[in-house]
C-alpha cells in the first residue's frame, strides 16, 4: 500500500509529523516504516469516504475500516491479511493516538480487540542436535568463506545469545565486548538495554567473523553495523530469515525442514534448552530481556510438548 497517494493537505502533514515523531523517539527501522504505511492506508481510506477531518471519525468509522482490512487481499501473498498484520494495523492506529495525545490532539476512538495469534509457530522448538546441524551447515553454506562465517555468527546471535532478530539486526561492531565476554543489546524491545553473556567458543566465532570475514564485504569499514550484506549495508530482517532458511535446507534433515523455522525459533529454542538444563527462571528472564517473569514461564509449557 506504499503507492497510495494522499490528497488532503491536513492528512499529509499529519503523516509527515508522525514519521518525524517516530524518528525522534528512536523507533526501529521496521516500526518507522510499517506504522506510517498502515496510517497512510487508513487516512487514504478516510479520504475515499469523504471523511477529511479526524474529529469526524467515530467508533463505527474505525470498525468499518477494520472490516475492510479483514476483507482486502494480501499484497504479498495469496489470501487475506494475517492476524499479525491486522494487529500491526491496530497498533499503528494506537501509536498514532499516542502521538495525538502528546501533541494536544483528540485521540480517535480505536476500540478493537487484538487478533489471537496462532500458537503453532510460537511452539516450534529445535532440538540441540538440530541446532548442531545448523552450525555444521554454515560451514559450507556459500561458495565464499566470509558469508559462511557470517552465517555462523548469525546463529550465535540468534541462538547462543537468544537475541530477537531486530536486536541482531541493530548490533554494532562496538557492541561485542570481547574483554568482558558480553554482548551489549542497545536496541532491545521497548528500548531496554541489556548485557548478554557469551562463552569463549561462541565469542571466537564472532571474533573470526568481525576481524576476518566481515572485512571481505563491500565497504565494510564504512559501516558500524556488525552484520552487513553484500552491498555494504546493514543486514536486514528478511536476510536473516532467508539465510536461516538456506541453512535448514542444507542440513538435509527432512524432519527439521518440515518445521517452521524462523529467527525467533532460535530464541525459543535456547530458552527451552536452558530451562531443560535447570537454569533459574530469573536468569533466563534476564538473558532474554523479558520485562515480566510470566512471559518467561511460558517456556515451561513448551518443555511439556517437546
Is residue 176 classed as helix, strand or coil in its secondary structure?
strand
Active-site residue flag, 187: no
- Residue in this structure with the C-alpha cell 543489546, named with its chain if needed: 185
Per the residue annotation, which of 173, 189, 233, 237 is the catalytic one?
189
CB atoms within 10 A of CB 299: 20
Per the residue annotation, which of 170, 187, 214, 267 is the catalytic one?
267
Active-site residue flag, 299: yes
Give Rg (Cα) of the chain.
22
Per the residue annotation, which of 40, 146, 152, 164 is the catalytic one?
164
Active-site residue flag, 189: yes
| Rounded CA separation 275/305 (Å) | 14
For the range 143-151, what are the long-range contacts, defined as Cβ-Cβ under 8 Å and sequence gap of 24 or more?
A: 144/216, 145/213, 145/216, 146/212, 146/213, 146/214, 146/215, 146/216, 146/217, 147/213, 148/213, 149/205, 149/208, 149/209, 149/212, 149/213, 150/209, 150/213, 150/214, 150/217, 150/227, 150/235, 151/243, 151/247
Catalytic residues: 164, 189, 264, 267, 290, 299
Amino acid at each position: 500500500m506504499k503507492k497510495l497517494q494522499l490528497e488532503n493537505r491536513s492528512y499529509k502533514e499529519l503523516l509527515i509529523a508522525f514519521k518525524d515523531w517516530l524518528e525522534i523517539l528512536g523507533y526501529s527501522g521496521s516500526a518507522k516504516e510499517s506504522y506510517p504505511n498502515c496510517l497512510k492506508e487508513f487516512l487514504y481510506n478516510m479520504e475515499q469516504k469523504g471523511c477529511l477531518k479526524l474529529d469526524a471519525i467515530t467508533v463505527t468509522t474505525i470498525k468499518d475500516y477494520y472490516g475492510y482490512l479483514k476483507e482486502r487481499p494480501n499484497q504479498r501473498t495469496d489470501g487475506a491479511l494475517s492476524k499479525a498484520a491486522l494487529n500491526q494495523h491496530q497498533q499503528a492506529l494506537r501509536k498514532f493516538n499516542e502521538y495525538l495525545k502528546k501533541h494536544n490532539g483528540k485521540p480517535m476512538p480505536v476500540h478493537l480487540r487484538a487478533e489471537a495469534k496462532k500458537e503453532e509457530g510460537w511452539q516450534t522448538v529445535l532440538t540441540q542436535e538440530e541446532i548442531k546441524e545448523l552450525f555444521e551447515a554454515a560451514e559450507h553454506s556459500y561458495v565464499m568463506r566470509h558469508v559462511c562465517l557470517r552465517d555462523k555468527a548469525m546463529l550465535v546471535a540468534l541462538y547462543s545469545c537468544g537475541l530477537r532478530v531486530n536486536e541482531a539486526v541493530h548490533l554494532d561492531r562496538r557492541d561485542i565486548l570481547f574483554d568482558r565476554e558480553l554482548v551489549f543489546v542497545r536496541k532491545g524491545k521497548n528500548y531496554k538495554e541489556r548485557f548478554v553473556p557469551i562463552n569463549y567458543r561462541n565469542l571466537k566465532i564472532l571474533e573470526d567473523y568481525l576481524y576476518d570475514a566481515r572485512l571481505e564485504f563491500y565497504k565494510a569499514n564504512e559501516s558500524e553495523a556488525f552484520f552487513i550484506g553484500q552491498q555494504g549495508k546493514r543486514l536486514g530482517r528478511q536476510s536473516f530469515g532467508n539465510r536461516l532458511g538456506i541453512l535448514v535446507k542444507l542440513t538435509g534433515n527432512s524432519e527439521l525442514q518440515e518445521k517452521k523455522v524462523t529467527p525467533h525459533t532460535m530464541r525459543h529454542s535456547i530458552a527451552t534448552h536452558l530451562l531443560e538444563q535447570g537454569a533459574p527462571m530469573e536468569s533466563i528472564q534476564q538473558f532474554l530481556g523479558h520485562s515480566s517473569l510470566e512471559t518467561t514461564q511460558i517456556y515451561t509449557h513448551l518443555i511439556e510438548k517437546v
